[in-house]
Chain A
Amino acid sequence: MKRKVDENVKREPFSGRIISSTIKENIDEKVEREIVYSRPECMHDLPTILCPGCQHGLIYRLIGEAIDELKIRGHCIGVGGVGCHAMGMGMLKIDAIMALHGRAPEVATGIKRSLHGKPIVFTVQGDGDLAAIGMGDMINAVNRGEKLTTIFCNNAGYGTTGGQMAPTTLLDQVTTTTPEGRQPQGFGYPIHVAELLATMTGMAFSARCALTSPAQFNQALKTVKTAFQKQIDGVGYSFVEILSACPPTFKKTPLESIKWIMSHMLEEYPLGIFKDVDKIP
């Protein structure tokens, strides 16, 4: 369907927000209506550049809401990895830096320690970034006793490069590098990062959430807030894995992608809190 362009209205590029209009009602539209739902305060008024049905935009909204509710915007520094998830970092009105593929925990360590532990530093990493190239980096950061927060976007594949297998890809899942489906003989097994990290001493909090329903979103928000709180309290490393839909990798429509997460991913990756301590002995 072709979008109708109203020549009387001048709009901002990308966001489509009305800058000026010769029609009076358009200008006054904000004044007359009550805002019941909007972006979190700490997010820029920009559209996401992610594919339709991708849940990474939602993850950033979640982070934004958590930062607003905890009122920590003035103390936060974000570290983005390499992958689609990194494209959201520019959406937040906080200081942010891009890391090399898999190296976000070290960059976060450098920031946190060089400022003597003052800022609240979090990384957002994808499954290729964290579970493949950055697995050692992550484990060693936890083991060094860092007080950081990591949001791990698990969408069971490499979205940015066009839908290849990730360490988190399910068995029998078809990707461009597992055209016959992932077979354990030759391609191994899906990795359970949240459970693995929960076994480590340096871990204060480890959980897995999904965003397939409003109830789950609210649960995820609560979990992300708890994770930030662990860092604020200086307990230890906090980690939240969020199952996320990637329609291009799944080769499904947005709705089907969500359903696939519910029917397949949740079975392999159970939701819940795997570690939650207030003090590391």
Chain B
Amino acid sequence: MQTTAEIAAQISAEFSLLENWEEKYDYLIEKGQNLPDMPDDLKSDEHLVKGCQSSVWFVTECREGRLYFQTDSDSLIVKGLAALLVELLNGQPAEAYQNVDLSLFDTLGFWRHLSSQRSNGLTAMVSFLKAAAEDCAAHHGA
């Protein structure tokens, strides 16, 4: 399995081909659209990540020290960001979540573009995943 650093480099390379904001968002939205929809019964309050203007859900599963997750959002942009997190982190060892380098989002420009808004869920999504990964590591260790 590729490391998160390798995956981040790949995503950066893909986005570097895009010339303007419209193209970048187009691509981000496509990433979101390619993510499978989450079944409605999983979109419960229990799986809702707070701190976003849009609704975003995460369902996580810890298997042998690796954290897997599926995610969905009613916003295609947020779902696109979540899709990048899936590419970057899904199935990685729990430790990888704690050290994840989010400069990828700086490189893409979305961080600057979106994070000035309270509504941006990226920070909340990453905090949620880190907490789940911490639990996963603790259980695996025990």
Q: Do A and B come from one complex?
A: no
Question: Which residues does A use to contact B, with CB under 8 Å?
Answer: none
Question: Which residues does B use to contact A, with CB under 8 Å?
Answer: none
